[in-house]
Amino acid sequence: MTICNVNDPMNRWILPLLLLFAIIFDIIAIAAQSGWVEDEDAKSHYANMWQECRGRKDQWECTSLMEFSWAQAVAALMIIGLIILILAFIISVVALCCSLNIPLLPLIGGLLILAVIVQIIALIIYPIKFNERIFEGYYDYTWAYGFGWGATILMLGCGILFCCLPSYEDELLDNTKVKYIYSTP
């Protein structure tokens, strides 16, 4: 029977791989052109992080949201969160995959928690300010906005794991004795 543990070099790639998925999700959310929000009924209005568009089918009239300070703040916070996430990913590859460097693990966890806080602020500001700006009809938040939340949730889980891993230093370094369920008399 094989036990999944972090001191196995193959298993050390799991957390950096999850961070890579979070990076991909963040890039999808930031770069999505289809929109974070679209109107529910007529499909005649949508907005992404950068612009909002009105119209029908091939005739869209788009205006930039970057004239508003709240949209600039959302874009800046999402990009800052992505940069912190990329930095945490690079450090995690060095700390877990090149050699096991336990003192770097809380640093990675702290960076990820910081990125989570920054992105949660951005993901909460956007719908509040968008709804204040638009008073008509009902709007649905699309998959692109969901990818932003998905990246944030992945970062939160990985951040907690990175903060907890140093507590298991003996297990990570394989310095523990095998514990049996029962002993022989």
- The CATH number given to whatever domain includes residue 18 is 1.20.140.150
78 belongs to a structural domain: yes
Contact status, residue 142 vs residue 35, Cβ threshold 8 Å? yes
55 belongs to a structural domain: no
pLDDT for position 4: 47
85 belongs to a structural domain: yes
pLDDT tens per residue across span 42-83: 577 778 888 888 887 778 888 888 899 999 999 999 999 999
Assess whether pLDDT exceeds 60 at residue 3: no
pLDDT for position 105: 87
pLDDT tens per residue across span 92-116: 988 887 777 788 889 999 999 999 9
More confident residue, 41 or 84: 84
For the chain, how many structural domains are there in total?
1
pLDDT for position 128: 86
157 belongs to a structural domain: yes
129 belongs to a structural domain: yes
118 belongs to a structural domain: yes
44 belongs to a structural domain: no
Assess whether pLDDT exceeds 50 at residue 10: yes
How far does Cα 20 stand from its chain's mean position? 9
56 belongs to a structural domain: no
Rg of the Cα atoms in the chain: 22
pLDDT for position 90: 94
Domain with 147, as residue range(s), is 11-39+62-172
This prediction has a pTM of 0.82
Long-range pairs for 10-16: beta carbons < 8 A, 24 or more residues apart: 12/96, 12/97, 12/100, 13/96, 13/97, 15/92, 15/96, 15/158, 15/161, 15/162, 16/89, 16/92, 16/93, 16/96, 16/97
pLDDT tens per residue across span 112-168: 999 999 999 999 998 888 878 776 667 788 888 899 999 999 999 999 988 887 776
